[in-house]
Every structure is written in structure tokens, then in C-alpha cells.
């Protein structure tokens, strides 16, 4: 299980694959304000990143994966243009 809900925190754990995008999307849409915790995520599939980019939920970190922390987390945290 790579997407897990704990209280109001959604934890992404280990390797998140394309099929994890849908449960993540449902959890985020179910209740506004849920935080996504990237601490133990290793690799996020593009489909998962796309959901985060579209909804821009608050993120809890720091991300455990260096690529995620260096390149993706800043992009996902930034305010959407426009």
C-alpha cells in the first residue's frame, strides 16, 4: 500500500505507481485541506505527480527521495501561475 490515510494526513510511501494516482485523487477530493506527507516516498510515478500538481495540496516533508526533494517538491509547492 503506497497511499495511506492517517487522520487528515495522506502518506505516500515507497514507490508510488500509476495506479496509486486514482486513490490519491479520491482522498484529496473527499475532504479539502488534507496534507500529503512525502517523507517516506521513494519514487513518484508521473501520474501521481500530475495529481499533486493539479490540486496542489499542502505538503509535509522533507521528501525522503533526493530527486523529489531537489526538483519536484519546489515545483509542487509553488503557487500555480495565473
Partner 1 sequence: MSDLLEQFLIEGRELAQQATEDLLALEHDPADEARLAGAFRAVHTLKGSVAVFGFQPMERTLHAAEDLLDAIRAGHLAVGREVINPLLDCIGTSEAWIEAIAHTGRLPDDAPACGRRLEEALQVPLGVDAASSPTRPAAPDPAWLPDLAMAEAPAIAKAQAAGRRVTALRYVPVPDCFFLGDDPMALIRSVPELIALRLRQREPWPEGMIDPFTCNLVIELLSTAEEEAVRQVFRFVSDQVDTTTLTTPSPVLPVPPEEPARGDPVGTTGRSLRVDTVRIDALLDLVGELIVAKNGLGHLIAQMGEAEPRLARALGESQAEIGALAEAMHRTVLGVRMTPLARTFRRLPRLVREAASGLGKAAALDIRGEAVEADKAIVDGLFDPLLHLLRNALDHGIEAPAARTEAGKPVTGRITLEARSEGGGVAVEVTDDGRGIDPARIRRAAKERRLMPEAAIDALDDAAAIQLIFQPGFSTASAVTALSGRGVGMDAVRTAVEGLGGKVSLASRPGAGSTVRLLLPQGASVTTVLLVRMGTEVFGVPMEAIAETARIPAAGILPLRQGEAFVLRDRTVPLVRLPALLDRPAGPRGDIAQVLVIGAGAERIGVEVDGFAGRTDVLLRPLAGLLSGMPGLLGTALLGDGQVLMVLDLPELIG
The footprint of partner 1 (CB under 8 A) covers 18, 21-22, 24-25, 29, 43-47, 49-51, 53-55, 67, 71-72, 75, 81
In the complex, the smallest distance separating the C-beta of residue 3 from partner 1, rounded to whole angstroms, is 12
Residue 17 has phi, psi (to 5 degrees) of -100, 180
Strand partners, 3: 12
Q: How far apart are CA 14 and CA 65, in angstroms?
A: 10
Residue closer to partner 1, measured from CB, 47 or 60: 47
**38, 61 contact by CB (below 8 A):** yes
In the complex, the smallest distance separating the C-beta of residue 60 from partner 1, rounded to whole angstroms, is 20
Amino acid at each position: 500500500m503506497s497511499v495511506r490515510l492517517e487522520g487528515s494526513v495522506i502518506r505516500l510511501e515507497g514507490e508510488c505507481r500509476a495506479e496509486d494516482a486514482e486513490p490519491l485523487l479520491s482522498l484529496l477530493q473527499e475532504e479539502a485541506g488534507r496534507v500529503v506527507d512525502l517523507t517516506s516516498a521513494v519514487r513518484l510515478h508521473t501520474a501521481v505527480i500530475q495529481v499533486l500538481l493539479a490540486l496542489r495540496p499542502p505538503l509535509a516533508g522533507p521528501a525522503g527521495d533526493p530527486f523529489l526533494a531537489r526538483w519536484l517538491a519546489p515545483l509542487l509547492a509553488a503557487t500555480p501561475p495565473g
